[in-house]
């Protein structure tokens, strides 16, 4: 335990939590909320405060719930690498166990949305009609930021909605539940757990069936299509005609 904390403490220096040598930790048994508190103090308190009450570098985490911590840490957004318009995604810096411990600690401070049950993450329970409903929900609730094909899009002030390719179902669910940063919260009254599962199934469908009509040019729509036809289509054909006319008769 001490080793763990020291490893974490040494890396509080913002931006480089030397992944706290997670795998080398010899503690096979369940980490507890107290372990979570220690991990939090070592890695997160510089910005979020020792009691998670928030500082000028980071918001209060009281009441954000386990789901938020799990999402932020396991997608590698937290600990935040550097101050920017939006926390960047990286490889996760903690193991699932350590994250669970921190989640437990934050959840113990005040109630908040919890990590979803596996039942709501299982896309195989959704039939074709459910996928279709998920698609419709996605287009209505998410496409204005994430693009219909989930290719991502620009938001104001240098922020952006990321592409939604190959995201873990649990993170999709947690994103909807907690509304990270500029994303709105979709609580269970807005989109029920069944519907969230349908959205997850729809995204999974897109991942598994990438592009029916051939290479998708980044799913960026008419912009990539236009550039393609100018550069490769017309460019290629003009190159051929230069070659054709360069032959002596």
Taking residues 84 to 123 in sequence order and writing x for each that binds ligand HEC by CB under 6 A, - otherwise, the string is --xx-x------------x---------------------
Contact (Cβ atoms closer than 8 angstroms) between residue 135 and residue 78: no
Q: Please give the distance of CA 78 from its chain centroid, rounded to a whole number.
A: 11
Identify the H or E element spanning 226. helix 222-228
Compute the distance between CA of residue 18 and CA of residue 233 in angstroms, rounded to an integer.
48
For residue 173, give the nearest of 157, 160, 156, 191 by alpha carbon.
191
User: In degrees, to the nearest 5, what angle opens at C-alpha 90 toward C-alphas 196 and 184?
Assistant: 35
108 binds, among ligand HEC, other proteins, none (CB under 5 to 8 A by kind): none
**Shortest Cβ distance from residue 21 to other proteins (Å)?**
31
**Count of other CB atoms within 10 angstroms of residue 128:** 9
Taking residues 210 to 229 in sequence order and writing x for each that binds other proteins by CB under 8 A, - otherwise, the string is -xxxxxxx-xxxxx-xxxxx
Q: What's the token pair of residue 143?
A: 């496409």
Contact (Cβ atoms closer than 8 angstroms) between residue 78 and residue 72: yes
9 binds ligand HEC, rule: CB under 6 A? no
Taking residues 9 to 48 in sequence order and writing x for each that binds other proteins by CB under 8 A, - otherwise, the string is ----------------------------------------
- Give the residue, chosen from 54, 59, 153, 193, that forms a contact with other proteins under the rule CB under 8 A: 153
For residue 142, give the nearest of 181, 175, 189, 188 by alpha carbon.
175
Contact (Cβ atoms closer than 8 angstroms) between residue 210 and residue 187: no
**Shortest Cβ distance from residue 81 to ligand HEC (Å)?**
8
For residue 105, give the nearest of 169, 61, 142, 149 by alpha carbon.
61
| Residue ranges in contact with ligand HEC by CB under 6 A | 14, 43-44, 46-48, 57-59, 61, 64, 68-69, 72-73, 75, 77-80, 86-87, 89, 102, 141-142, 144-146, 155, 159, 161-162, 164, 167, 171-172, 175-176, 178, 180-184, 186, 199
Binding residues for heme c: 44, 47-48, 142, 145-146
| Residue ranges in contact with other proteins by CB under 8 A | 85, 128-129, 131-132, 134-136, 139-140, 143-149, 151-158, 160-161, 202, 205-206, 211-217, 219-223, 225-230, 232-234, 236-238, 240-242, 244-246, 249
């Amino acid at each position: 335990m001490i080793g763990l904390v020291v490893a974490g403490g040494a890396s509080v220096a913002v931006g480089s939590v030397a992944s706290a040598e997670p795998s080398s930790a010899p503690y096979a048994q369940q980490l507890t909320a107290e372990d979570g508190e220690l991990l939090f103090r070592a890695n997160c308190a510089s910005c979020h405060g020792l009691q998670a009450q928030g500082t000028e570098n980071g918001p209060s985490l009281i009441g954000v719930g386990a789901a938020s911590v799990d999402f932020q840490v396991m997608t590698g957004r937290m600990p935040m690498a550097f101050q920017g318009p939006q926390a960047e995604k990286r490889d996760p810096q903690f193991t699932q166990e350590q994250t669970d411990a921190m989640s437990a600690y934050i959840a113990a401070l005040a109630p908040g949305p919890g990590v979803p049950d596996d039942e709501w993450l299982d896309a195989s329970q959704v039939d074709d009609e459910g996928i279709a409903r998920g698609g419709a929900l996605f287009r209505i609730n998410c496409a204005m930021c994430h693009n219909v094909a989930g290719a991502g899009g620009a938001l104001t002030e240098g922020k952006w909605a990321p592409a939604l390719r190959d995201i873990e179902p649990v993170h999709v669910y947690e994103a909807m539940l907690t509304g990270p940063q500029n994303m709105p919260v979709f609580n269970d009254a807005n989109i029920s757990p069944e519907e969230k599962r349908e959205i997850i199934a729809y995204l999974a469908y897109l991942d598994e069936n990438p592009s029916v009509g051939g290479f998708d040019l980044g799913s960026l729509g008419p912009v990539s299509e236009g550039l393609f036809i100018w550069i490769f289509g017309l460019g290629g054909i003009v190159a051929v005609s230069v070659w054709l006319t360069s032959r002596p008769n």
